Structure 1
Amino acid sequence: MKKFFICLLIMVLVCHTGKVHAAQRVVTSHIISDVWYENVFLIADKVDNMATKNFTVQVGGGVDSVGGEYLYNFPNWYNDKFAPKLFYEDINGDGLKDVIVALISGAGVALSTKETHVLNQARDPYTRYEEVPVESINDAVKRLVKMERKGNEITVLIGKKKYLVDFLKFGYQPSVDPPGVGAMEDYKLENGVLYGDTNVSVSIPEAFIGSLKVKYAWDGKMYKAESITFKEAEPLKPSS
């Protein structure tokens, strides 16, 4: 796979030197299949030692691009640090594999915000991929979750399900801040279903008290949060 390994070589050289004198196209993530038309490459311009922008999703191609390829350009996509996540799986139940990309929109100490992009595959009659909207984790939480604090008790209300969390048992410094989300986010696939995860903290992001898991479903126009579950964190055990 000449083109793929050439791109990887460029990426390794740039990362090693830490210098970028001009925009260089690199393969940031890839999925290699047994057949050329299910190979997927995520290609972008190197911004600096970590960040990439101006993405292209390539579906198909292999040794000397035998058989052709589909190219989709997204000039506004930006990835802050580390490698983006890439999936190629049917997540809307139509029997056709879709491309899912999870980019890092922000990163730092105790911070990792993500955004996800989905390219639905369609055949009408020719194969094509089209980006469709995905409800953000924050928007889903605002719509489906209510959180409040009264003294040391944190209440997380999701539909008719109510969770009560005692803030004191975690041993954090006293705080009067309300609970919040969004400092740590992630997207993943489980059995063909798209999920998003975010932390629940007080004095974001230090005082972690639990996490919210967002389950997405295709409604014919976009991927929208279908349900959310809360999992309380385990208090840290005192060191001996």
Structure 2
Amino acid sequence: MKVKWFLSVFVALVITIVPVASAITPFKVFVNGQPVFGTPSIVQFIGGLPFVSIESISSELKLDVEYDMKNKTLHISNIAEPQSEVVATLKKAKATLYATKREGDLEKFRLEMDGGIRWFPYWRSTAAPAFGPRLFFEDINEDGKEELVIVLTTDHGTGIMITEAHVLQKTMTNIGEIFEEKLIDNPVAIINKNVKTKKVSNDQVEITIGKKKTNDTTHDYLKHEQIDFSVYKNELVVFISGHISPPTEGGILITYQFKDNMYQTKNIEYLKKRPDFFNSAE
């Protein structure tokens, strides 16, 4: 009986002493190899897993942490990294486009639209103000709802401007109606498939699209050094031509239509002059 009584008291003491000892010695935390201590310990175990507050290690991680109790939001930003800023807005769509500037480019795009947020980490665009993002909000697929079209300039220079378009349209999903990005057929691939050219003289080129033939004094317009997307009369369009110097006025205008869940060719035509409706975002 004495032995059983002694073992019971010993086990009880061990159970009592161990938590006390753990409370006295703070759990060590290392961030990037540097120790971080707190009193009491900044570590809490929840469900058997260790947790630390962001604020307790924010200085070591170079994070700026702000609480907004009124709007019930927590803002965390890396003060060592470039911060996102507004790069385009469109009141008509209640849309604001954010991006981070890095080495002359825009990256890490974020779209806040009509109360929702979408992230586009793989989009890229130049940060040059003259070639900033352009936004359009029109019903380009004839479904009775406006689509958001975002045109980004991916390359520019002497006689060169290359843009790409992103179309976001309302789509019903299992989580409700969201703005989903739809595929756009590559305009260069469309030209390679549907347009034929033949040099007929030193300064004359014959352009054949289907059964229609056009002669013009173009200069290497099929180098595709000008690829410019836009929206005109509720349609997604792109104009492809050559470089500015020597001047290239003529080019291919492609009009898109929404078919088979993507934007495909509706019409292709050769124009002897660049349309004047380009570069006019709403």
Match of 1:164 in 2: 215
Contact conserved, 1:149 with 1:178, CA < 8 A, in 2? no
For 1:227, give the aligned amino acid: N
**Aligned pair 1:22/2:81, yes or no?**
yes
TM-score (norm. length: structure 1):
0.72
TM-score (norm. length: structure 2):
0.62
Match of 1:51 in 2: 105
Question: In 2, Cα distance between the equivalents of 1:164 and 1:192?
Answer: 30
Match of 2:184 in 1: 134
**Aligned pair 1:39/2:94, yes or no?**
yes
Deviations 1:14-70 (A, max 9, x none): xxxxxx96321111111113xxxx40111111114x42111112211xxxxxxxx11
- Give 3-state SS (helix, strand or coil) of 1:141's partner: helix
- Give 3-state SS (helix, strand or coil) of 1:77's partner: coil
Match of 1:8 in 2: none
Deviations 1:152-184 (A, max 9, x none): 2301001111001246xxxxxxxxx86524111
**Aligned pair 1:212/2:252, yes or no?**
yes
- Give 3-state SS (helix, strand or coil) of 2:188's partner: helix
Q: Which runs of 5+ in 2 are unaligned?
A: 1-78, 275-282
Deviations 1:141-161 (A, max 9, x none): 112211121332301001111
Tell which structure's C-alpha radius of gyration is larger. 2
Distance 1:207 1:149, change over 3 A: farther
Misfit runs of 4+, over 4 Å: none
TM superposition shift of 1:189 = 1.1
Match of 2:270 in 1: 230
Number of residue-to-residue matches in the alignment = 191
Contact conserved, 1:111 with 1:205, CA < 8 A, in 2? no
User: Percent identity among equivalent residues?
Assistant: 23
Question: In 1, Cα distance between the equivalents of 2:108 and 2:173?
Answer: 28
Question: In 1, Cα distance between the equivalents of 2:125 and 2:184?
Answer: 17
Question: In 2, Cα distance between the equivalents of 1:114 and 1:225?
Answer: 18
Distance 1:79 1:166, change over 3 A: closer
For 1:91, give the aligned amino acid: I
Contact conserved, 1:40 with 1:57, CA < 8 A, in 2? yes
Question: In 1, Cα distance between the equivalents of 2:138 and 2:206?
Answer: 36
Distance 1:146 1:161, change over 3 A: same
Question: In 2, Cα distance between the equivalents of 1:143 and 1:181?
Answer: 15
For 1:52, give the aligned amino acid: L
Structure 2 counterpart of 1:102, from 151, 164, 173: 151
Q: CA RMSD in A?
A: 2.3
For 1:189, give the aligned amino acid: V
